[in-house]
Structure 1
Amino acid sequence: MDFLKLIQSLDELLYEVMSWLIFYPVTLWRALAQPLKMMDYSEAELGDPADRQYTDTLSPPLFLLLTLVLCHAIELSVVGQNAVILRRTGLGGLVNDDSTYILLRVAFFSLFPLIMAARLVRARNVKLDRVPLKAPFYSQCYVTAPFALMVSTSGILMQLTPGGSPLWGLALLLAALLWFGSLQILWFAQHLRIGRLRAALHASRAMVEALIAFVAISLIFVGI
């Protein structure tokens, strides 16, 4: 019986993994084409039974994880191994292979949905705990994944040598920040039912907090 259960588990795992080939591009397209609708969709799906959630897309955290795995694979094929793994200075010594580096990138980029979600909960004057934080965190993962893809691509462009494209990389980074920041203003305005000016203040505060945390932890891990 245990062997049969193992076979059934493998069947389910294989189907789940192969289904990503269909639902990842679907989710990416929808997140790029209709980001705010995807954020609303994410919160609505959390109200469904667990076995009926995200049946036509990837779940937000999984989508973010797979995007960062894809980013790392592209980086390996284009520019080679990342300097954090090669240098092993500072806390970067703990990052000694691709798996730990991917987990590190997941933790870094997860700062954005976490801090944005926390800012929304605090702005609502709701007690900050796991329950009210989950829905906005999940919805933020849907837009953080394309943002991470754009930021990672900009980093790759800036590393290309000879004939690198630092200006293209900087342009893409700026476009990513503008795209992500604009979405945050609209998202805060919608969920807090406030004007866009006040929403921009909430979004800017959260964005600055996330960027400071991202840069500070990055510098610690690269040993600067």
Structure 2
Amino acid sequence: MGAVNVLVVEDEDAIREMLGMVLEQAEFTVHSAADTQQAQVLMNESFPDLILLDWMLPGLSGIEWARRLKKDKAYSDIPIIMLTARGEEEDKIRGLDFGADDYITKPFSPRELVARIRAVLRRSSKFGKSERIELGGIALYTDEHRVTIADHPVVLSPTEYRLLEFFLTHPDKVYSRSQLLDQVWGRSSFIEERTVDVHIRRLRKILAEHDREEMIQTVRGFGYRFSEQV
């Protein structure tokens, strides 16, 4: 998907900082504003690929700003995800009618938030094209959720797919088990680190069927590296 610039508009400092940390960990570029006036200034400096927008803001409300942006040709194509404590169906429908592309209700998990953002980006005109990630003859097609090795289709579980996608997009770097847990399973997950080893073994077994098991390398005392350099 490449570098993605996300504008976070949230008036509560703690939530704004938390959102920034979660999105930066997911490798998004993040710009933050406490209200729509600050957000407009930031947009003039750096055009965002997506706006994460709180419903209730001081001054001009988030929902009203979203409505104005969608009417402005310069900004109408920017996807907007509304972030709000409002959980009623009527409010959700109103938010979508006013121009929001999606709607996430507090409280939410970081993993859900990142997944929603990526899903909205895939539907947008800028990122909607099929993305093919390839390394060492392994090709992953993100929009089709499909993997091939040397042009042969491979069947993976959802977790194996996410693990392989992370490895393919972060080659030649060493990651600890806890880092892999955060990136693949999500920070809110209560899974033991040994679960990582189980899924690594499963993924290695699949790669071994195509003579590529050595691409997952154990770095003793640290964790795992994915590389075509053996």
Q: Determine if the TM-score, normalized by the shorter chain, exceeds 0.5.
A: no
Q: Which TM class, normalised by the smaller chain length?
A: under 0.3
Query: Normalised by the size of structure 2, how large is the TM-score?
Result: 0.27
The answer to which structure has the higher helix fraction is 1
Larger RCO, structures 1/2 (Cα 8 Å, 6+ apart): 1
